[in-house]
């Protein structure tokens, strides 16, 4: 049975992860951490009554004390890089769902994991449908290279654009290459109205509103036609099968991989 801890346990995603692991027969929840809710019994997070297991404030102290196999991170952009490096240095396999790390930080994590021979996962999105959306969009880009991405999330999301949108754009650019789309001389009368543009030419538009969870449209345009590929996560439960898959798979890896698709499709 794999021993698992959850960092960011009091957050909305963290609570779902705690519940999913608690109710899974082949995984054992051995600890939880959250910098804002030290001492709270995890039973209050999952409606399980008093469990006797309380939330720790410091993830490193928790790792040293309980020595888990895997640590799942759904914390915050300013904490996730340090948390992941700490996990690797303590021989714990990270499964990271927190977005906001830059490409250089992700590469440093991968390089360190390879040096230590420790597997792990950094995943912008754990929803299986979202991974299929990226896969289908990558195929569509071979035939319809004009494309823009609209990602929509709840108004408490800390980073923009989403990690899923960036991963989608990167996959499209890898397939179609650099591409000049639209007028090279277009003018924005309001700064940023055309969204952000990744190197390679894909524009991303971010929407933040209450009532949303996680949604994305990849809109392609061609001669006399458009194609829209859309994925919607209606509840955070949609991410749990992917999180559990990641926990089980990283045990067999010798380095950190970027994207759950590497485990699902490769």
**Positions marked active-site:** 153, 157
CA distance 146 to 222: 7
- The two beta strands, 93-96 and 120-122, are parallel
Kindly give the interhelix angle for 163-176 and 128-140, rounded to the nearest 10 degrees. Answer: 30
CA distance 169 to 203: 8
CB 203, CB 197: distance < 8 Å: yes
Closest to 204 measured CA to CA, from 226, 158, 173, 227: 173
CB 232, CB 8: distance < 8 Å: no
Kindly give the interhelix angle for 12-22 and 240-250, rounded to the nearest 10 degrees. Answer: 60
């Amino acid at each position: 049975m794999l021993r698992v801890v959850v960092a960011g346990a009091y957050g909305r995603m963290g609570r779902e992860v705690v519940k999913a692991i608690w109710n899974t027969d082949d995984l054992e929840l051995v600890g939880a951490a959250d910098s804002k809710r030290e001492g709270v019994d995890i039973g209050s997070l999952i409606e399980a009554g008093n469990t006797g297991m309380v939330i720790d404030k410091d993830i490193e102290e928790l790792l040293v004390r309980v020595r888990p196999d895997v640590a799942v991170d759904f914390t915050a952009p300013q904490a996730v890089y340090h948390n992941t490096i700490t996990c690797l240095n303590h021989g714990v396999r990270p499964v990271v769902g927190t977005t906001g790390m830059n490409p250089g930080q992700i590469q440093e994590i991968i390089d360190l994991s390879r040096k230590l021979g420790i597997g792990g996962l950094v995943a912008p999105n754990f929803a299986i449908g979202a991974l299929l959306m990226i896969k289908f969009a990558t195929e569509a880009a071979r035939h319809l290279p004009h494309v823009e991405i609209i990602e929509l999330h709840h108004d408490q999301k800390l980073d923009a654009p989403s990690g899923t949108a960036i991963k989608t754009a990167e996959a499209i650019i890898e397939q179609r290459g650099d591409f000049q789309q639209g007028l090279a001389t277009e003018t924005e009368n309001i700064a940023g109205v055309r969204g952000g543009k990744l190197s390679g030419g894909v524009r991303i538009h971010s929407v933040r509103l209450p009532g949303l969870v996680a949604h994305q449209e990849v809109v392609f345009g061609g001669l006399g036609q458009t194609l829209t590929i859309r994925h919607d996560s209606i509840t955070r439960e949609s991410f749990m099968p992917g999180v559990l898959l990641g926990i089980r798979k990283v045990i067999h890896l010798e380095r950190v991989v970027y994207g759950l698709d590497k485990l699902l499709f490769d």
